[in-house]
């Protein structure tokens, strides 16, 4: 079977000064039958969305906010957000020294603070291939220090702490081609191709965590499908739902 993602060159690239949300827009287009490979970058989002119905705040020049839409037909979709996070963390980490960590399932962390978030949504693809879906991968990265809502549960980090000359454009140029290559790998081999790279950046492993379902325990990495493993008083619990939030109880 011929597998293959569109090359970078075949993406239509749009940079918009303002839109409600790049994810919302690509999902709107998908519902209207428009599923061509598209990279949509917004300088400003007026209704940026995060996981679990949260909002994603950013302002022009301070952040990189983009989504891309792509048809994918992996054998299993499990672990996609972890694979995307692993790819982006690897692209943006300094060559030497401390690396960007991943907080299951979708966050990039720098020194215990949130650097970036990922929101993945899918819709049926207009194709005869049953397992193919149109995936919208949305990524928001804090680039420059700015005022943040003091009520944020996790304090932010920004890319200029790691690379002082970073800009939204530089970050996108650095991460996008490797991310497409990694998606091709995910489509071919699934999360298994990323599990050791994820483990090397797992910011929760070995830490006490509290889950939004009320349970708590020690994070013990992820299983082969990307589900979080937590050792609780009831034994080893497998957390697969992305609708469960996980909070480390102590930050280093
Ligand atoms: C999260 O941390 O909860 C996920 C945040 C994802 C934010 C990005 S910014 C680009 C894209 N458009 C959105 O509305 N959300 C994603």
Query: 111 and 232 in one domain?
Result: no
For 18, other C-beta atoms within 10 Å of its C-beta total 10
Which atom of ligand 1 sits closest to the CA of residue 50? 3
Q: From the candidates 51, 144, 174, 220, give the one annotated as an active-site residue.
A: 51
Closest CA to 69 of 115, 6, 131: 6
Q: Report yes or no on 6 lying in a domain.
A: no
Q: State yes or no: is 51 an active-site residue.
A: yes
Query: 231 and 138 in one domain?
Result: no
Q: State yes or no: is 103 an active-site residue.
A: no
Q: Report yes or no on 241 lying in a domain.
A: yes
Show the tokens assigned to 79.
């672990």
Query: 191 and 223 in one domain?
Result: no
Number of H helices, E strands in the chain: 4, 12
Q: Which domain holds residue 218?
A: 208-248
pLDDT of residue 150: 76
Q: Report yes or no on 2 lying in a domain.
A: no
Query: 158 and 108 in one domain?
Result: yes
pLDDT of residue 97: 83
CA of 56 to the centre of ligand 1 (A): 6
Query: 196 and 124 in one domain?
Result: yes
Q: Report yes or no on 130 lying in a domain.
A: yes
Show the tokens assigned to 69.
């839409």
Query: 57 and 172 in one domain?
Result: yes
Closest CA to 230 of 243, 242, 244, 216: 216
Q: Report yes or no on 159 lying in a domain.
A: yes
Which atom of ligand 1 sits closest to the CA of residue 117? 2
User: Which residues are CB-neighbours of 76 under 8 A, at least 6 positions away?
Assistant: 190, 191, 225
CA of 187 to the centre of ligand 1 (A): 22
Q: Which CATH number is 55's domain given?
A: 3.30.930.10
Q: Report yes or no on 4 lying in a domain.
A: no
Q: Report yes or no on 26 lying in a domain.
A: yes
Q: Which of 184, 201, 218 is the last residue of a domain?
A: 201
Query: 127 and 65 in one domain?
Result: yes
CA distance 47 to 52: 14
Query: 141 and 48 in one domain?
Result: yes
Query: 241 and 154 in one domain?
Result: no
Query: 220 and 167 in one domain?
Result: no
Query: 37 and 112 in one domain?
Result: yes
CA distance 246 to 34: 35
Query: 28 and 150 in one domain?
Result: yes
CA distance 148 to 152: 8
Q: Give how many domains the chain has, as a whole number.
A: 2
Encode the chain (252 residues) as per-residue pLDDT tens digits: 334 556 777 889 999 999 999 999 999 999 999 999 999 999 999 999 999 888 998 888 899 999 999 999 999 999 999 999 999 999 999 988 899 999 999 999 999 999 999 999 999 876 656 788 999 999 999 999 987 777 777 899 999 999 999 999 999 999 999 999 999 999 999 999 999 999 999 999 999 999 888 889 999 999 999 999 999 999 999 998 776 778 888 644
Q: Report yes or no on 3 lying in a domain.
A: no
- The β-bridge relationship of strands 12-16 and 38-42 is parallel
Q: Which CATH number is 237's domain given?
A: 2.30.30
Q: What are the pocket residues of ligand 1 if the criterion is a CB atom closer than 6 Å to any ligand atom?
A: 21-23, 45, 48-51, 54, 56, 65-67, 106-107, 117-119, 138-140
């Amino acid at each position: 079977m011929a597998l293959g993602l569109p090359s970078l060159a075949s993406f239509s690239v749009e940079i918009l000064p303002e839109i409600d949300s790049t994810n919302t827009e690509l999902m709107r287009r998908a519902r209207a039958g428009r599923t061509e490979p598209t990279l949509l970058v917004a300088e400003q989002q007026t209704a940026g969305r995060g996981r679990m119905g949260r909002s994603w705040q950013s302002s022009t020049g301070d952040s990189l906010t983009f989504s891309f839409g792509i048809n994918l037909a992996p054998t299993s979709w499990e672990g996609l957000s972890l694979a995307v996070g692993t790819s982006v963390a690897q692209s943006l980490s300094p060559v030497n020294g401390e690396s960007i960590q991943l907080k299951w399932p979708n966050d990039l962390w720098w020194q215990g603070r949130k650097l970036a978030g990922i929101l993945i949504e899918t819709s049926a693809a207009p194709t005869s291939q049953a397992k193919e879906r149109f995936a919208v991968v949305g990524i928001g990265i804090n680039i420059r220090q700015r005022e943040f809502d003091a009520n944020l549960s996790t304090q932010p980090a920004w890319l200029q702490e790691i690379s002082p000359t970073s800009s939204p454009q530089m970050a996108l140029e650095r991460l996008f081609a490797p991310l497409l290559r990694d998606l091709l790998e995910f489509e071919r081999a699934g999360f298994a191709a990323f599990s050791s790279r994820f483990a090397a950046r797992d910011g929760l492993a070995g830490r006490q965590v509290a889950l939004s379902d009320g349970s708590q325990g020690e994070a013990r990495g992820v299983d082969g499908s990307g589900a979080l493993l937590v050792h609780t008083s009831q034994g080893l619990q497998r957390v697969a739902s992305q609708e469960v939030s996980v909070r480390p109880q102590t930050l280093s």
